[in-house]
Chains A and B, each alone.
Chain A
Amino acid sequence: MRTPARHGPAASTIAWRAASLLVVATLLISAIVGGLLRAGVATPVPSASAWPAQAVLAHAFLMMSAFMGTVIGVERAVAVKHRAAFIGPMLSALAGLAMLGAQPALAAWLAVAAALGFVIVNLVVVKRQPAAHTALLLVGALALLVANLLLALGSAAASVIPGWFSFLVLTIAAERLEMTRLMRRRRGAASALYICLAALLLGAAAFALSPAMGALVFGVALLGLAIWLMVFDIARRTIAASGLSRYMAACLLLGYAWLAIAGAAWMATGLGLPLRDVALHALGLGFIFSMMLGHAPVILPALARIKVEFGVHFYLPLAVLHLSLALRLFAAPFLPAALRLGALGNALAIALFAMTMVGAALTWRARHTNPA
């Protein structure tokens, strides 16, 4: 009598998803290879091709604008459930491929078009649910648009990077703010967050005039945000739960610690201390990638229609990420090899995480395949 709860997707849909996954993986792997080469890790790459050099040059663009821009774009497109919403992430993925194909101008303008699409999707979200967190998501999208536009107009990547980070940090802050709705409202909590985020945008904008002043303000804002998250986020509650919830909370809390370190490091670079690697990677890997590791097990089923079975082994890539990052960022000033070793560990953590996800998806299938 009853129609099945879920129909299997059409072959064309599966092919489409597989192709998308392949492109996103290409962007991530290229960005990682670029990062490894930057850190001085001997990485086997084809010498005749342009892409390794492009991956090195455009590491930040590939990681933030192309890879994360695409993944977050798909995430939002899935939420608004409209076909046209996927145009943005398609363009940002193409922008990444164009960059790897040594077409930086084309890549930058494709990224602008992608960000424009992403802004429109976020406007739809705000219209559907006018709330503080959806408004912040929109501001994050605008930060991405401005950053990509600056790149297309010829700004150096160094002055664009704070804009890309602002997009990611605002996106995360917005989602965390949404979660704090489950806690009792503390007086001034929301205002404190808005002050931190306004300072973040102010700092990012100030880079164009004075990189030192920009870094200082950006750092103060990140530190403020880290404290805010440690005080108000639900992770301090959900760490007491079990299974996947506790794992996610661990990813969040570790991320907040790195966010505080990143804030201090950005401030230090503003004061002239040589801590740029700490500033960039405590934020990018310690905070943002830790968030990704935490959320992939719930986002993956939503984006790719693949369910995963949680297990304690999920903690392994998380531990490798944070330990290798600590090695890289704390030991490198005293031990030059620590940078290479740490960077290799960072890459290994992401590879281990990908394998964990594949394994967890296969386990889920094996457990839930009903022979009847």
Chain B
Amino acid sequence: MADVHIPYPYDGPPELEATIEGALRQVVDPEIALTIVDVGLVYGVRVVERDVQVRMTMTSAACPVTDVILADVQAELDAVLPPDHSIQVELVWDPPWTTDRMSPRAKQFMGW
């Protein structure tokens, strides 16, 4: 795991970390053919008790697909988390997204 790019800070029980990341990696922005994790839209995940909190952003405030992506995140997490866990997906604009957040895979795909 040491050499793998850490996509976002995770604060919660270790046994859920891979499950949550796997679910988030299911959400793809078809316009750019990359997952929200690779683009770096996920700012952080916290699991407090049985409450899963995802903080994420979008690259554009004019994007009408925002709600669809947030609902997809919710649905993907819903499908893999134990039923007694609640899910909160929070959209934030601060700090603004930059290309520094892109994963090496995403940068390679975009020709960096």
Contact = CB atoms under 8 A, between A and B. Distances in A.
A178 B60 contact: yes
Contact of A179 (B32, B61, B67, B93): B32
Nearest to A246: B33
A313 interface: no
Interface in A72-126: 75-76, 78-79, 81, 125
B94 to A, nearest CB: 11
Given A1-B83, A128-B93, A237-B110, A182 B32 contact: yes
A5 B62 contact: no
B71 interface: yes
Interface residues of A, number: 41
Contacts of B60: 129, 131, 133-134, 175, 178
Nearest to A77: B64
Given A1-B86, A2-B84, A248-B30, A181 B112 contact: no
Interface string B57-74: 001111111111001001
B29 to A, nearest CB: 9
Contacts of A6: 71, 74-75
Nearest to A137: B62
Nearest to A1: B84
A238 interface: yes
Interface residues of B, number: 36
Contacts of B31: 179, 238, 245, 248, 298
A79 B63 contact: yes
A223 interface: no
A298 B32 contact: no
B78 interface: yes
A75 B64 contact: yes
Interface stretch (A14-22, A51-59, A299-307): A299-307
Interface of B: 28, 30-34, 39, 50, 59-68, 71, 74-75, 78, 83-87, 93, 96, 99, 102, 106, 109-112
In order of increasing CB-CB distance, the 9 nearest A-B pairs are A241-B33, A245-B33, A129-B61, A78-B64, A244-B30, A302-B64, A128-B61, A5-B74, A75-B64
Interface of A: 1-3, 5-6, 75-76, 78-79, 81, 125, 128-129, 131, 133-134, 137, 174-175, 178-179, 181-184, 234, 237-238, 241-246, 248, 297-299, 301-303
23 contacts: A1-B86, A2-B83, A2-B84, A3-B86, A5-B87, A6-B71, A6-B75, A79-B62, A131-B60, A137-B62, A175-B62, A182-B39, A182-B99, A237-B110, A238-B31, A238-B32, A242-B33, A245-B33, A248-B30, A248-B31, A298-B65, A302-B66, A303-B64
